[in-house]
């Protein structure tokens, strides 16, 4: 795998005072060539040992374009991209994990204590001072309640472990972990989380069709846009037509359409050209 030192941080004014970071950690080397080799096997008499022979840049692009024109997407499942994502909410996590053809590793609230509580503030709440104050007050109360519960439960569990013959060091460690397992129930959906996500390119195309749409929830759309930008820097031919369905000319939202197809097309044309 190739490591890519590309980190994109979305500025605070987009994320209501919070920052989100998306990093492309690794990806399949020579992704377009791998896809071309898979397509070559499907449509020629080539054997496995000669799949990569003669795959010049021109021929590689020809195979990729042919697959795109035919709608034959299975060969692109052979390449994958792994992203690191942080500064997102547990609400985002619930939506992200609905994409089942993917692999996820998420920071655990069961084993990681929220000593430094960070949370995501929706832009609409940040824009109204009274709403933001109410929101921030609630978050402060949530973390105070979490800490109080964790302390109470930890003391109880510590005593029980000591009575059962554990050493002080072991009892303290086990008591804290057991305490936060239950204390986490008071943490809100706004709680910040971190995750590593791996998807193959076909799953990513589907993800972008759904989550780059203007009707997608603002947080997952912002993440999807950054993921698409990074993918285009690595495999521009594969993701040439990626984005919401209207990028290819047809909106699939029916009466729920945003009605801004031309603006959306222009936005993604510019996004894909960014370096």
Run of H or E including 236:
none
Nearest CA-CA partner of 191 in 119, 141, 138, 122: 119
Look up residue 77 and give its two tokens: 């499942």
What is the DSSP code string of 208-233?
Answer: HHHHSSTTS-HHHHHHHHHHHHHHHH
Exposed, middle or buried, 61 (CB in 10 Å: 0-12/13-18/19+)?
A: middle
| Catalytic residue from among 184, 202, 209, 211 | 211
What tokens does 134 get?
Answer: 């109410």
Q: Give the DSSP per-residue string, 26-64.
A: EE-SSHHHHHHHHHHHHHS---GGGTTTT--HHHHHHHH
Strands 192-200, 80-89: pairing is antiparallel
The Cα–Cα gap between 196 and 263 comes to 31
211 assigned to active site: yes
Active site residues: 211
């Amino acid at each position: 795998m190739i490591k890519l030192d590309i980190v994109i941080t979305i500025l605070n004014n987009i994320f209501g005072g919070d920052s989100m970071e998306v990093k492309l950690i690794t990806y399949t080397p020579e992704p377009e060539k791998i896809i071309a080799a898979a397509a070559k096997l499907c449509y020629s008499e080539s054997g496995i040992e000669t799949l990569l022979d003669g795959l010049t840049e021109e021929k590689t692009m020809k195979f990729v374009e042919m697959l795109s024109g035919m709608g034959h997407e299975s060969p692109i499942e052979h390449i994958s991209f792994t992203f690191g994502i942080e500064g997102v909410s547990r609400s985002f996590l619930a939506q992200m994990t609905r994409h089942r053809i993917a692999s996820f590793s998420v920071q655990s609230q069961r084993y990681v204590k929220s000593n430094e509580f960070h949370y995501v503030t929706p832009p609409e709440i940040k824009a109204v001072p009274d709403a933001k104050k109410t929101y921030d007050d609630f978050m402060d109360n949530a973390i105070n309640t979490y800490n109080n519960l964790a302390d109470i439960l930890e003391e109880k569990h510590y005593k029980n472990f000591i009575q059962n013959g554990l050493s002080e060091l072991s009892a303290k460690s086990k008591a804290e972990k057991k305490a936060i397992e239950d204390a986490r129930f008071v943490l809100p959906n706004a709680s910040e989380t971190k995750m590593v996500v791996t998807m193959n390119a076909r799953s990513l195309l589907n993800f972008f069709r759904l989550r780059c749409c203007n009707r997608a929830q603002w947080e997952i759309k912002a993440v999807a846009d950054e993921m698409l930008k990074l993918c285009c820097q690595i495999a521009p031919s594969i993701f040439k037509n990626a984005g919401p369905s209207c990028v290819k000319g047809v909106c699939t939202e029916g009466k729920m359409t945003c009605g801004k197809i031309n603006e959306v097309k222009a936005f993604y044309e510019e996004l894909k050209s960014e370096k």
